[in-house]
Amino acid sequence: MESISLAEQILLNGCTFAFKSTFMAPLMSVRNLQQTSLDIDLSSFQATREILQCKGFNGLWDGSQYEMLKFIPLTLSKALLPRRLNLFPDSLATIWLTKTINASVTISANAIPSYPLDVLSFMYSMPYDKEELQHGVRIAFQYPGFCCYVLSSFIYHVSLHSVHELFESYLGPQSGVWRLVAALTKVVIAQFISYPFDTIRKHLIIDALEQEEKDQYSGWIECAGDIYDKDGLRGFFKAVHLGLLGGVTQRFTEIILQSLVKTYYVEFRSIIYE
């Protein structure tokens, strides 16, 4: 498939993010509330009912506009930055750990311009009123929890590459449907392992938003200790089932939708330029 221009890439990513934000927003809103709730036994049904009571039916999609806008800085950063930021020489490029570190650094660099939108998307998905969110933009540009985002990215990719190596060693190359199943299985395992850092990150965002009401955490380690003291290990995996469902659905949607958009868009271009 021929390479496409920056404008075409923006269109492609825009379609993908629009579909993902619209389809996934209610699930992610419920997950965010359940994941950060002080009540460890809060069910998905109770979280949904709380959002509906506080914000109405449309409240399930609050914050999705910021999630959709993320495609602009993500696309621009990918266009301006190298495809892969290599911290290690090519002689070490065959080692999976160096590949993982290079990939994590690249993703973190790409996330720097879009992270405030990610924070705003999370804040507005929660059942806060307008007064509580009046300083949301300022707080978002303070990058609360960004260190946990970087750690989560690293652990996610270490897990993803490790599972990939195991699959290749014991199952060999997959094709067709089994290749899709293997890809989604890798996502489930990697997301489960990195999920605690996503929980810590969201608690740090809430802590920054509520800084006037309570003392702030000194860092992510203190936040993790507080979560463990209150809820034990379960506290790091609240709503993990929604996170895994969302991750699998998001990855499946990306694979299918991007494939369709690329195929038909390239065919459309070929007709236009003939």
Dump pLDDT digits (tens) for 191-201.
999 999 999 99
* Inside any domain, residue 118: yes
Nearest to 47 by CA among 239, 246, 272: 239
* Inside any domain, residue 245: yes
Return contacts of 186-189, CB within 8 angstroms, 24+ apart.
186/160, 187/160, 187/247, 187/248, 187/251, 188/244, 188/247, 188/248, 189/159, 189/160, 189/163
Spell 179-216 as b/e; 16+ CB within 10 A means b: eeebbeebbbbbbbbbbbbbbbbbbbbbbbbeeeeeee
Number of domains in the chain: 1
Average pLDDT of span 229-249: 92
Burial class, 133, CB count within 10 angstroms (exposed 0-12 / middle 13-18 / buried 19+): middle
DSSP letter string over 32-86? Answer: HHHHH-S-TT--HHHHHHHHHHHH-GGGGGTTHHHHHHTHHHHHHHHHHS-SS--
pLDDT at 2: 45
Of how many residues is the chain composed? 274
Give kind and range of the element (H or E) at residue 156: helix 146-170
Q: Report the CATH number at residue 198.
A: 1.50.40.10
* Inside any domain, residue 1: no
Q: Is 171 helix (H, G, I), strand (E, B) or coil?
A: coil
pLDDT at 125: 92
Range of the domain at 24: 6-273
* Inside any domain, residue 143: yes
Average pLDDT of span 144-154: 88
pLDDT at 243: 92
* Inside any domain, residue 28: yes
Please give the backbone phi and psi of residue 215, each rounded to the nearest 5 degrees, phi first: -70, 140
The CB density around residue 81, as the number of other CB atoms within 10 Å, is: 13
Q: 25 and 67 in contact (C-beta within 8 Å)? A: yes
* Inside any domain, residue 29: yes
Which residue is associated with the tokens 């868009």? 265
- pLDDT tens for 182-236 read 888 889 999 999 999 999 999 999 998 887 566 678 889 999 999 999 999 999 9
Q: What is the pTM of this model?
A: 0.84
Looking at mean pLDDT, say which of 90-104, 134-148, 222-236 comes out highest: 222-236
Amino acid found at 216: Q
- Provide the pLDDT confidence category of residue 242 given band limits of 50, 70 and 90: very high
